[in-house]
Copies of this chain bind each other. A is one copy, B any other.
Amino acid sequence: MRNAEFDKEKVLRSAMNAFMNKGYANTSMQDLKKATGLHPGSIYCAFENKRGLLLEALEQYRLDRKAEFDKFFSATERTIDNLKSYLDNVVNECVSCDNTQACLLTKALNETAEQDVEIQQIISNNLSMLQQAFADKFEQAKNEKDISADKDSEHLARYFLMGIYGLRTFAQTHPKPEVLTQLAEQLYQDVLR
């Protein structure tokens, strides 16, 4: 017997960065070799093919984002404060020009839409889970009396997520921090109102 040498999580994070930087189709096997440090044969041995690598990278991305989400929403007792922190973090990600600014999910969704139904379904499910997680937090904020009881948590979650999508796209052309901050501020206000 012999175990694999590489750290799978590290490899997957390298791969997801590569995919986010250049897009899935434009990321060649050579790019992936350079990014992950794995030779083609190893990649095919571990992930079957390039698409398999994307699939596992998407799953790792989901886990990482879930951990990040939980971290933000266990920071303070007041849910709406955590929500604000989360949103501020999105803005900061957009401002700092590193590749993390783009969400792998929406990026891959844009690219593979209408072409690979299975991947589209996986991404949709991931985004739905995020939406549901937000809805739960809005429900919590209602219990904490920070959001009026007559609001629909599901709708708030959808609107909030829509705002984040829009913010990220907007940031790609106008990444001025003060403008993004202002947009995020209004989004936050509109959701609370």
Binding site for B on A (CB under 8 A): 21-23, 25-26, 99, 102, 106-107, 109-111, 113-115, 123-124, 127-128, 155, 158-159, 161-167, 169-170, 172-174, 179, 182-183, 186, 190
Contacts and interface: CB of A to CB of B under 8 A. Distances in A.
Contacts of A169: 106, 109-110, 162, 165-166, 169
Given A166-B164, A169-B169, A107 B109 contact: no
A110 B165 contact: no
Contacts of A128: 173-174
Nearest to A114: B21
30 contacts: A21-B114, A22-B114, A22-B115, A23-B25, A23-B110, A26-B111, A26-B115, A102-B110, A106-B169, A109-B173, A110-B111, A110-B169, A111-B111, A113-B172, A123-B173, A124-B174, A155-B186, A158-B174, A158-B182, A161-B170, A162-B163, A162-B166, A162-B167, A162-B183, A163-B163, A163-B166, A165-B170, A166-B167, A166-B169, A190-B190
Nearest to A25: B25
Chain A interface, DSSP helix/strand/loop, else mixed: helix
B170 A158 contact: yes
A128 B114 CA distance: 28
Nearest to A186: B159
Among A22, A165, A167, the one with the most B-chain Cβ atoms within 10 Å of its Cβ is A165
A133 to B, nearest CB: 15
B159 A110 contact: no
A108 to B, nearest CB: 10
